[in-house]
Structure 1
Amino acid sequence: MRCVAHILNLIVQYGIKDASVSVDRVRGAVRYIRASPSRLTKSNQRVKEEMIDSKAQLCLDVPTRWNSTYIMLKVAEKYERAFESYLRDDHNFFLDLTAGDGVPTFDDWDIVRRVIKVLEPFCHLTLKVSGSLHVTSHSLFEVLTDVHCLFYGWQDCGDLEIISMTSKMREKYNKYWGEGNKINMLVYLAVIFDPRCKMSFFDFVVNLLFPNVANDIMKMIDKELHCLFNEYSSNAERIQLFEGRSSSLTNICSSMEIDHPRFPILAQMARDILATPISTVASESAFSTGGHVLDSFKSSLTPLMVEALVCTQDWLRKSNDAINLEDYVDELQTMEDDLSKIPEEQEDVSRLSMPLSSMFEAQEET
């Protein structure tokens, strides 16, 4: 089974290909401002002058991070007036962008707003299938249904630009998920073993998404379920092992009223099927975390500092309580003032303060 998040990414990228010029221009403007602290300071001054009520930080998209283009555009669009003010005051800004993809125009920002509108639901869908701490196998069928409904609604939205983008997305969608009888059987089985859905819901959605082959799919699934059940039933040792574990668990946790499963074979089938991951985002993110921390702007960090930043990032993400940046601004400022007084031989330690601030800002955006 291919990674669902990758397929969604391909669908989105294919759909916004025509808007790539406008996206590139906004990306160039963000890259210029983020290139130095002085430019960021000037940009923040323009934000205050324009009375823009947003604390989100400008960010660049990266190829290894899903939905990063949407996040970049969503933040940049809030600061449209600040970009225009910066352009009037800084001639180098104009020259730098002109030498590249060009300066974002009114039409570019209008296209960007349409792109944001289209990308937003796909961002939520990607997050839904990319979880690593809960079951996701049943989510793929929900994604197919949601995307189908999105395309159906956008057909009559009246906006020709959005209709054009979503038509191309639908073309790519049909390439991977357009034929119901060619979709991996685990997708269907996971929906059936979801106690909220079961066979009745599955029958309804299959007839909605694939009316021409719905009867064939239902017959195929019925046959597959019987074959799978027979295979699990014939494996007596596996079932006995499962029953033994269940009995032990029942004895240990009797105070919690955990009962022995009424249908041990079906229970084992559900465990195996629902545990199937449909996305490789979690594993790939684990290998790319270091690249996000140690980039071209922080290339002189020592291994100790990189380890501290990665661990702190994990702790922040693991926390169940939302972190409010305003509660920590004074504390961070005091910390930075104290670190600035540290002698030069301890200068490497002081580099920890800025990345920590950036982490809290990133956490606030999330």
Structure 2
Amino acid sequence: MSGEIDAIRDTMKYIRHSQPRMEKFKLAASQVNAPDKKPAYDVQTRWNSTYIMLDLALQLKAAILSSAYPFVVQMGKDMFLKWNKYWEIGNGVLAIACALDPRCKLAVVEYYFKMMHLEKVQSFMTNLKSCFEDLFNEYLISNNKASQSQPGKSTDASSSGSKEETDTRAGLKNFLNDKKQADPILSELDQYLSELLDSCNLDDDFDILSWWKLKSPKYPVLSRLARDILAVPISTVASESTFSTAGRTLSPTRSSLNDESIEALVCAQNWLRTAVIESGGELGEEDDDAIDEEGE
């Protein structure tokens, strides 16, 4: 029954965690003559609280179905719109980050994109390669400028004691220069993408930043690009969550707290919540309020 219990628990949390949803629930409860009780969710480590939650859910079943389902449908639509917005903006960066994994490269990007948009895979891969090349060229130009700005080492022919090159030596140099110009030049990016995938298994504990650090002599420009791209946070949720927590801490009655006190309270709340979760428990409403009081 764990799946059903989880669904009921999530529904209870969904209604309780928003005042507009609670108002909608109260209106639905009055229309279907449901008991005048608030939805409540359990603490998973306490079987008696789970029983109370299930018993209450049965009593409020009609009101819950009348109020929660339309909201869930609308929430799904809103989430889908937001997902499309972020996907259109960030899919290129995410794909490049995946391509910078030597175990995946562009092959894995193409595989997963086929699963989502089979009809657009060719145009997407073409645009991705072009974007990847443009980004690499920017780093290449930046690297060349940095190299040119460094003072070069001058050599004095008289001090080095070198002899004048013979005609044969000069001819060899000219021949080699012509040969270099005739041969196709592969950039670091072309070399990297043309090599075989790394033999490391996808399920292994792979330190990708260490891999690029070791390969930096071979790919000096591409390794800098990888370092910057792979350091980009995948989501802003962590930072937004921190500001949200700080907002609760800095309430109207405690608006004069200094920076050090706010930081100490936010850290204390985070540590206490983490300790509860790591111990196998789950924060219920009573636990959450208790932690807030202890953090204060």
Larger RCO: 1 or 2 (CA < 8 Å, sep 6+):
1
Mark the structure with the bigger radius of gyration: 2
TM-score, normalised via structure 1 length: 0.39
TM-score, normalised via structure 2 length: 0.46
